[in-house]
Amino acid sequence: MVVFKKHVKDASKHHDWVQSVHEKNNEERMELRKRSSQFPVTTDIFEGLKHTYEMAGMMGYSGHFDDETIEAIRRHPDVDYIERDSEVHTLGHDDDPEIEKNSPWGLARISHRDSLSFGTWNKYLYAADGGEGVDVYVIDTGTNTKHVDFEGRAKWGKTIPNGDADEDGNGHGTHCSGTVAGKKYGVAKKAHVYAVKVLRSNGSGTMSDVVKGVEYAAKAHSETVQAAKDGKKKGFKGSAANMSLGGGKSTTLDLAVNAAVDAGIHFAVAAGNDNADSCNYSPAAAENAVTVGASTLLDERAYFSNYGKCNDIFAPGLNILSTWIGSEHATNTISGTSMASPHIAGLLAYMLSLQPAKDSAYAVADITPKKLKANLISVATVGALSDVPSNTKNILAWNGGGSANYTEIVEKGSYTVNKAAEKEESEFRITIPSFSEIEADFDQAKESAGRHAHRVGGKLQHLEAEIEDFIAEEMESMFEKVKERVASH
């Protein structure tokens, strides 16, 4: 990947030059191969120019070149630096991804200040129009756009890997999209999702394709903004993006993400799953984006979640239920900072949709990504999580508790959890319900399952059995945690 110096405004002549150098060197190499009996003629075929990049604050290109061409590029006065293309991959955590859990606890957690209890663990408080008028670009493996949970709000944006299909053959991108904007599983239930496929079905791809995907999102956003200002796109509030992927440190990818934010996109990225410093990963180190670590149902930092000064906020990321591939109704429960990041991308879209007011003269929400990021952090719940290193912000995302008044949400500011007071009052207060509460929740869940079974074909007994097994497993697990906590005090 090649990045130009800031003074370069028109790269077309450079592109022509590099292609001519590439072709000349290719011809000379092929001629040499013909004269040699040691190598077949097809050895060392280089593709040449692959992608060109142009967005706010960044111009460059990528390609597959021989050493001679690379050295010529490196010496060119317009070139700032060259970075070797590298592999990136999804950040889903692989521990028991097939185990189905309860309906998304993560949505409930970001809408409540205090630790979840039996009265709140499955209750998501939100504004009905959250996400309306906002486009979210999910830069990942693609999205199952036909899934019923998207209600037709998921569209295919762009497939970047050459020759790949316009479909999600992995599931990771679909899961992220569901957490962003699904009717049941999503934070911003009225947002529109655009699939930007940069990773293949095995969950991996190249850094250069990812950069091209970021550029696509930035340009698509700019075009939509212009259409809104021209009166051709009514009700548009702005754009957000989610990137639940990562690899080693890449200056180019970080620069691309920062440039996309400068272009107006509100960007969330995963911190990474190596229980290490997120500043050593890209795009987690991109300073303009919101870098997201993962939390658990019991308000702990997930054991795999990266940490450090590059982390901006935490969001639920362990055992997250969302949309999947294989059918229009498929779901899956998986873990990772990949699952935490779309909670924040959805929350950015959610908050973006709450302003400006409907009677505002603005065609597009005028709040900048920098300002919205600052507001998101300023209203977060402080000190809620355990096992957070001292060099890491201990703040957990909050959506305003269902308020549709953005100004009111921001004015409320942050909320600091008093852990000492919680311990004095007793661990039982937040973890042990009465058995009547357990029975009521069980009956409610079974009744809901019955209604669902009637809609999908009357398989009530099967669904009831699944609900009973699930409740039993959850209760056993929760009471074990309670006993452990009580024993430790």
Q: Which residues have a catalytic role annotated?
A: 140, 172, 338
Q: Where are the beta strands (DSSP E) in 202-319?
A: 204-206, 238-243, 245-248, 266-270, 281-282, 290-295, 313-316
C-alpha radius of gyration, the chain, whole number: 24
Cα–Cα dist 297/244, whole Å: 20
Pairing of strands 2-4, 79-82: antiparallel
Structure tokens at 256: 């691309």
Tell me the helix, strand and coil percentages in the chain, rounded to 5. 40, 20, 45
β-partners of residue 137 are 194, 241
- According to DSSP, residue 376 is labeled H
- 361: Cα within 13 Å, side-chain hemisphere: 0
**At 387, which amino acid appears?**
D
Q: Where are the beta strands (DSSP E) in 411-461?
A: 415-416
With tokens 């940490």, the residue in question is: 307
Number of other residues whose CB lies within 10 A of the CB of residue 474: 15
Structure tokens at 219: 């340009």
| Among the listed residues 337, 340, 339, 349, the one whose alpha carbon sits nearest the alpha carbon of residue 376 | 349
* Secondary structure of residue 33 in the 3-state scheme: helix
Structure tokens at 72: 């010529």
**At 440, which amino acid appears?**
A
407 Cβ contact partners less than 8 Å away, ≥ 6 residues apart: 355
- According to DSSP, residue 278 is labeled G
Helix (H) or strand (E) holding 55: strand 48-55
Helix (H) or strand (E) holding 208: helix 207-229
